[in-house]
């Protein structure tokens, strides 16, 4: 295996998906700047071009709303082939953006980019720090319930059609969404994407929240979907820890952030399903979603040191050829092809693997890194893969798959933040 060649290929993908200050996840399927994809891109760039990494971050934050929210898509330039575009979201600001957020990996990635070159990064870190704090405050003010973080749309989780949302989605009546032309299935095999019944509901929620004027209080009261996302709670807890670290380094006040961390650490317990795993919670019904997904394994990444998820992880790794599947293979709805209902995602493995390593589960971390390395080296820089045989799925030439090769999965990667 010529690993140097694969390293070069990964760097080339980041350059190729660069649209001038921001990186698209992949041409065609996702032609704009996506929030967490972009943070992974910046982290990838930081391995060979730290200036470009910071540029990515600044461009991302041009999309930040006055209330602190950092949207999930920034529509810098018109691009064809994506639905729903800026006209559907109808957010009255420039650059145009969507009206929802996405998993807050930014503080964690930004800390790593800063640490790659502190001398160069210091002024950028100072500039971006306040913006990060105001985004985190937005989550606390609008989305924290019992120490867990709520999403108002499955797209906010980044795990669009995960099992976690099934029950909540079934409670939404999709009538009235009307005709629309999905564009994702123009680019990718429909078997690998969410179903029409999901899309109808995705749109129904967008229309409802848009009719609320994207006002968080109104959405909290009348919204059709409100689920505490186990993935985001863990990711946000980790991000708060990294934000605290940055605050200490820059000599800023820390009490507020320390308070958030305490509340989130307590909230993690509320994600524990007595059936024996971390789970999301439907806040409209108070019920667990009864889904063991790959996000349940972000416990270690969040900085918690427990080992109560290790049994499930080892079982699942033994059940598939390539871990970690996005859904438990023993679940009756497990589907190795369909997006977040089974496929393996390299960036998810990265967060799980780094967490395992940090918490001392070195062997499992290394196993996961090797499996991810093999997946990418043998099958290419795809969006996701079949956990059963590694078959490539979704978009090709994918930014965050290239980024995690350079930062974690590849043999020359640092393997940590």
The residues that touch ligand DGY, with contacts defined as CB under 6 A, are 72, 155, 160, 184
Strand partners, 317: none
In the residue annotation, 49 being an active-site residue is answered as no
Question: CB of 93 within 8 A of CB of 65?
Answer: yes
* Nearer to ligand DGY among residue 33 and residue 47 (C-beta): 33
In what side-by-side order are the strands of the sheet with 144-145?
144-145, 148-151, 227-228, 281-282
d(CA 305, CA 360): 9
* Nearer to ligand DGY among residue 87 and residue 332 (C-beta): 87
* Nearer to ligand DGY among residue 99 and residue 336 (C-beta): 99
Question: CB of 291 within 8 A of CB of 227?
Answer: no
Catalytic residue chosen out of the listed positions 198, 242, 383, 396: 383
* Nearer to ligand DGY among residue 40 and residue 288 (C-beta): 40
DSSP, collapsed to helix, strand or coil, labels residue 257 as helix
- Minimum CB separation from ligand DGY for residue 381, in Å? 18
* Nearer to ligand DGY among residue 52 and residue 153 (C-beta): 153
Question: CB of 309 within 8 A of CB of 296?
Answer: yes
Q: At which residue do the structure tokens 């369909």 appear?
A: 338
Nearest to 240 by CA among 297, 159, 302: 302
- Minimum CB separation from ligand DGY for residue 72, in Å? 6
Catalytic residue chosen out of the listed positions 7, 160, 229, 279: 160
In the residue annotation, 160 being an active-site residue is answered as yes
d(CA 204, CA 372): 36
H-helix or E-strand spanning residue 73: strand 73-75
- Minimum CB separation from ligand DGY for residue 160, in Å? 5
- Minimum CB separation from ligand DGY for residue 208, in Å? 17
Q: At which residue do the structure tokens 């693997």 appear?
A: 353
* Nearer to ligand DGY among residue 184 and residue 229 (C-beta): 184
CA distances from 394 to 200, 337, 373 (A): 21, 9, 18
- Minimum CB separation from ligand DGY for residue 369, in Å? 26
Give the residue closest to ligand DGY by C-beta: 155
Neighbouring residues of 112: CB distance < 8 A, sequence distance ≥ 6: 43, 46, 407, 417
Q: At which residue do the structure tokens 């427990």 appear?
A: 306
- Minimum CB separation from ligand DGY for residue 120, in Å? 32
Cα dihedral 85/211/289/162 (nearest 10): -10
Tell me how many degrees the CA angle 337-415-403 measures, rounded to the nearest 5. 55
* Nearer to ligand DGY among residue 39 and residue 356 (C-beta): 39
d(CA 10, CA 47): 11
- Minimum CB separation from ligand DGY for residue 75, in Å? 12
> Which residues are known to be catalytic?
160, 383
């Amino acid at each position: 295996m010529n690993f140097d060649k694969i390293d070069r290929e990964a760097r080339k993908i980041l350059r190729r998906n660069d649209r001038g200050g921001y990186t698209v996840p992949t041409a065609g399927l996702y032609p704009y700047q996506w929030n967490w994809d972009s943070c992974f891109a910046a982290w990838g760039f930081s391995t060979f071009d730290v200036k470009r990494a910071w540029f990515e971050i600044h461009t991302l934050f041009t999309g930040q709303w006055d209330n602190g929210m950092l949207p999930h898509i920034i529509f810098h330039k018109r691009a064809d082939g994506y639905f729903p575009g800026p006209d559907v979201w109808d957010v009255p600001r420039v650059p145009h953006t969507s009206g929802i957020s996405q998993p807050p990996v930014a503080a964690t990635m930004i800390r790593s980019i800063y640490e790659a070159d502190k001398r160069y990064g210091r002024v950028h870190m100072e500039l971006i720090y306040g913006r990060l704090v105001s985004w985190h405050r937005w989550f606390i003010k609008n989305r924290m319930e019992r120490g867990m973080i709520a999403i108002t749309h499955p797209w906010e989780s980044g795990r669009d059609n995960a099992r976690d949302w099934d029950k909540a989605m079934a409670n939404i009546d999709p009538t009235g969404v009307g005709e629309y032309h999905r564009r994702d299935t123009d680019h990718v095999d429909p078997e690998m994407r969410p179903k029409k019944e999901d899309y109808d509901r995705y749109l129904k929620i967008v229309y409802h929240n848009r009719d609320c004027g994207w006002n968080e209080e109104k959405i909290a009261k009348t919204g059709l979907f409100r689920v505490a996302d186990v993935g985001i709670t863990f990711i946000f807890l980790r991000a708060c820890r990294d934000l605290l670290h940055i605050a200490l380094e820059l000599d800023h006040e820390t009490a507020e952030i320390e308070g958030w961390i305490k509340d989130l650490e307590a909230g993690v317990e509320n994600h524990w399903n007595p059936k024996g795993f971390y789970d999301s919670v439907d806040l409209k019904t108070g019920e667990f979603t009864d889904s063991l997904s790959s996000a349940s394994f972000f416990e270690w990444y969040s900085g918690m040191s427990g080992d109560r998820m290790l049994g499930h992880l080892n079982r699942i790794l033994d059940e598939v050829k390539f871990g970690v599947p996005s859904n438990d293979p023993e679940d009756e709805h497990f589907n190795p092809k369909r997006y977040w209902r089974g496929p393996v995602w390299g960036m998810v493995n990265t967060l799980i693997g780094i967490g395992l390593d940090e918490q001392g589960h070195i062997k499992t971390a290394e196993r996961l890194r090797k499996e991810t390395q093999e997946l990418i080296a043998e099958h290419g820089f795809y969006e996701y893969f079949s956990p059963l045989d590694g078959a490539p799925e979704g978009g090709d030439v994918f930014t965050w798959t290239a980024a995690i090769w350079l930062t974690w999965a590849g043999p020359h990667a640092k393997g940590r933040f």
